[in-house]
């Protein structure tokens, strides 16, 4: 059943019954992401919450923060929509910076933690459970849409999601999103630079799928090449302003999955899309 909690492994994350490379459509991807992040939220935030902060805007594991990058511009007085907000530290940072913010996520588990942190910090970011593929937001009503490693890598039809972004943006409105760098796809999921060996094709877009014991998808991640991302942004009617590949922040020692200082010195781990609606 789609509402049945996923069994957890010793690390607190959902334990897959199997792993496959196979097709996964929009409905299956949404269903899997909602269940996985509901189950994984406590373990994920226990592992990464201190690095993410409660009122902070971290773009990526390399340590790039919006306070230094200024990719969104001046947000004071701006209507900002965050996609894939998780526990919503970015939205609270935006709220403190003077933005009129709305934090959106697919996962009720993540939003429950976001609500707790809203109360604990005294910085209440309005929260909404919704799918980026069908944003419950009026046309041309938002000045900025942002997503810091939010839902886009888990979306089957990213073109449709970006068309939704373009629909809700006002003319001149800005869109900025950080995603896994496409060059990470063919490499092993390891922080050790000794493991920088190509093990699969960069051009293979077949989704990575974890399944339960009955073969149902419990986690789905979709790969796009850099060219795919560019075409998706432009195809949605947005103007691509920049592609940022953050370098590792000097002095930062935090490892995050396959991201590490040693590996970050050699290959990019994050791609930041910067665009606007004409």
Closest by Cα among 186, 188, 165, 123 to 274: 165
Domains with residue ranges and CATH for the chain: 18-277 (3.40.50.150)
pTM: 0.96
Q: What per-residue confidence (pLDDT) applies to 5?
A: 82
CB atoms within 10 A of CB 141: 14
Q: What per-residue confidence (pLDDT) applies to 3?
A: 61
Q: Which two tokens stand for residue 183?
A: 């060059």
Q: What per-residue confidence (pLDDT) applies to 1?
A: 44
Q: What per-residue confidence (pLDDT) applies to 136?
A: 97
List of the chain residues with pLDDT < 70:
1-3
- Sign of the alpha-carbon dihedral angle for 171, 172, 173, 176: positive
Q: What per-residue confidence (pLDDT) applies to 52?
A: 97
Closest by Cα among 168, 180, 181, 172 to 82: 168
Indicate the DSSP class of residue 236: T
Q: Which two tokens stand for residue 96?
A: 């403190």
Beta bridge partners of 65: 58
Q: Which residues contact 135 (CB under 8 A, 6 or more apart)?
A: 81, 104, 164, 165, 167, 168
CB atoms within 10 A of CB 130: 14
Q: What per-residue confidence (pLDDT) applies to 4?
A: 76
Q: What is the pLDDT of residues 96-149, one digit of tens each?
A: 999 999 999 999 999 999 999 999 999 999 999 999 999 999 999 999 999 999
Angle, helices 26-52 vs 108-121, to 10°: value is 30
**Cα(276)–Cα(236) distance, integer angstroms:** 11
Q: What per-residue confidence (pLDDT) applies to 125?
A: 98
């Amino acid at each position: 059943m789609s509402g049945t909690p996923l069994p957890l492994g010793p690390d607190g994350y959902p334990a897959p019954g199997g792993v496959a490379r196979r097709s996964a459509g929009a409905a299956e991807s949404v269903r899997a992401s909602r269940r996985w992040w509901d189950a994984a939220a406590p373990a994920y935030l226990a592992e990464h919450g201190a690095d993410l902060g409660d009122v902070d805007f971290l773009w990526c594991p390399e340590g790039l923060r919006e306070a230094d990058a200024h990719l969104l511009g001046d947000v004071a007085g701006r209507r900002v929509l965050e996609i894939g907000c998780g526990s919503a530290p970015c939205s609270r940072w935006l709220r403190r910076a003077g933005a009129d913010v709305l934090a959106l996520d697919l996962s009720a588990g993540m939003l429950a933690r976001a609500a707790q942190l809203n109360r604990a910090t005294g910085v209440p970011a309005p929260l909404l459970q919704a799918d980026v593929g069908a944003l419950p937001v009026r046309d041309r009503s938002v000045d900025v849409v942002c997503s810091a490693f939010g839902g886009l890598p888990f979306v089957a039809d990213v073109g449709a999601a970006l068309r939704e972004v373009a629909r809700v943006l006002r003319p001149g409105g800005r869109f900025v999103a950080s995603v896994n760098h496409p060059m990470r796809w063919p490499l092993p999921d390891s922080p050790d630079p000794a493991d920088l060996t190509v093990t699969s094709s960069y051009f293979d877009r077949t989704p990575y799928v974890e399944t339960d014991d009955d073969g149902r998808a419990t986690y789905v991640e979709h790969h796009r090449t850099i060219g795919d991302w560019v075409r998706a942004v432009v195809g949605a009617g947005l103007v691509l302003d920049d592609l940022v590949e953050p370098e590792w922040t000097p002095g930062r020692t935090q490892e995050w999955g396959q991201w590490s200082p040693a590996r970050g010195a050699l290959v990019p781990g994050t791609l930041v899309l910067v665009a606007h609606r004409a």
